[in-house]
């Protein structure tokens, strides 16, 4: 069986599973994923593709990328995703609007909001159909 879990896990040292892509580290203004430094917010899609976060979807409505709007939630969500891990910034500033949270709940996608440094080990040990959003600044 090659579901999302089987296709996105790789064996780690000692036989434990690691999520792909692996998030290596973060510092204010960047995140390193599989050795590549990204100096902007990113989405990690099912299948492991990393892409630039479209912050304009929230910033146009609320004037900040620290609030995830319903429009952005619709863009972030992928059919089949059962979990969304959000790295909410170095100081945990990103918030999910109630309508956005309801969108994920309607699609049975559990959302976890953690500071970006706290999100990294959770992501790397995650299993299943998981997507990610990583905010790299505050």
Specify the higher pLDDT residue, 2 or 118: 118
CB 50 within 8 A of CB 38: yes
Q: What is the pLDDT of residue 62?
A: 87
Report DSSP letters for 63-83, one per residue: S-SSEE-HHHHHHH--TT--E
Parse the chain into domains and list their residue ranges: 4-135
Q: What is the value of pTM for the model shown?
A: 0.88
**85-122, pLDDT tens digit by residue?**
999 999 999 999 999 999 999 999 999 999 999 999 99
Mention the CATH class of domain 4-135.
alpha beta
CA distance 15 to 100: 37
């Amino acid at each position: 069986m090659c579901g999302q879990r089987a296709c996105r896990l790789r064996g780690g040292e000692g036989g434990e599973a690691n999520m792909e892509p692996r998030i290596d580290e973060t510092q204010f203004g960047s995140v390193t994923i599989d050795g590549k430094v990204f100096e902007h917010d990113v989405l990690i899609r099912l299948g492991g593709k990393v892409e630039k976060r479209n912050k304009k979807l929230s910033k146009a409505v609320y004037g900040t990328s620290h609030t995830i709007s319903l429009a952005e939630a619709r863009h972030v969500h992928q059919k089949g995703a059962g979990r969304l891990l959000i790295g909410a910034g170095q100081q945990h500033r990103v918030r999910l609007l109630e309508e956005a949270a309801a969108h994920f709940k309607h699609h049975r996608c559990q959302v976890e909001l953690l500071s970006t440094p706290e999100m990294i080990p959770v992501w790397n040990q995650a299993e299943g159909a998981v997507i990610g959003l990583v905010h790299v600044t505050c």
